[in-house]
Amino acid sequence: MYLLYATEEEANNRADQEGQLVGYKYWTSNGSTRWKTYPRITAKPLIGSAKWSLDVSDYTLTEEEQAATVDSVTYPSNKV
């Protein structure tokens, strides 16, 4: 389950928000773990210009966010 964002910064901000809610030690002391999941760019925008995806399967979502989720995304490939 993913949320889509137009910019990496917007997606980062949401990832930061969840990381703080969970209480990863990056946010409270001298820890290194900062995020639960981190944004990844998709192969192409799925909705409008939104091409930055954030896996929110295990996030605490608002009703508005819940309604905006998509089930799958496609990432760019450089297969050889």
Partner 1 sequence: MFLALKNALGKPLVATYKGLLDSFSGASAAYSLRRLSGSYTGHALRVRRSGDNVEADVGFNGGSVSLTSPVTNASGEPAYTLTYSDSAWQFTGSATFTSSSSTGAFVISGTSGTFSTDLTFSTSVASGSAVSVRVTVASGISGTWSVNLQDASGSVVSNSAAITTQGTKTLSLTSTAPATKVVISTISSSAIINASSFSATASEGDTAATTLDAFLKEGAITYSSDYSSGTDSWTFSGGSVAGQASIGGEDNALKVTRSGAGAFFPQRSNVIAVDGTYIITLKLYVPSTNTSGNLNFNVKEAGGGNTVATNLTAQDTWTTFTVELVVSGGNNVIQVTSSSMSDGDEFYIKDFVATQTGGMDLFVDTWYDQSGNEKNATQSTAGNQAKLASGGSLITTGGKIAMDFDGSNDFLDIDFGANLSQPNTVLFVHESDNTNAADNEFFDERGSGQRSLIDVGSDGDDYRIFATGSLFFSGIDITTNQSTVFTVFNGSSSVISINGTAATGTTGTNGINQTQAIAYSEGNNDFYNGTMQEFIVYNSDQSSNRTGLESDLSDFYDI
H or E element in which residue 55 lies: strand 52-55
Site string for partner 1, 43-62 (x = CB under 8 A): ------------x--x-x--
Minimum gap (Å) between residue 48 Cβ and partner 1: 23
Distances (CA, A) of 40 to 23, 25, 28, 50, 63: 22, 23, 25, 12, 23
Q: Which stretch binds partner 1 (CB under 8 A): 32-40, 44-52, 64-72?
A: 32-40
Chain positions contacting partner 1, by CB under 8 A: 21-26, 28-38, 55, 58, 60, 75-80
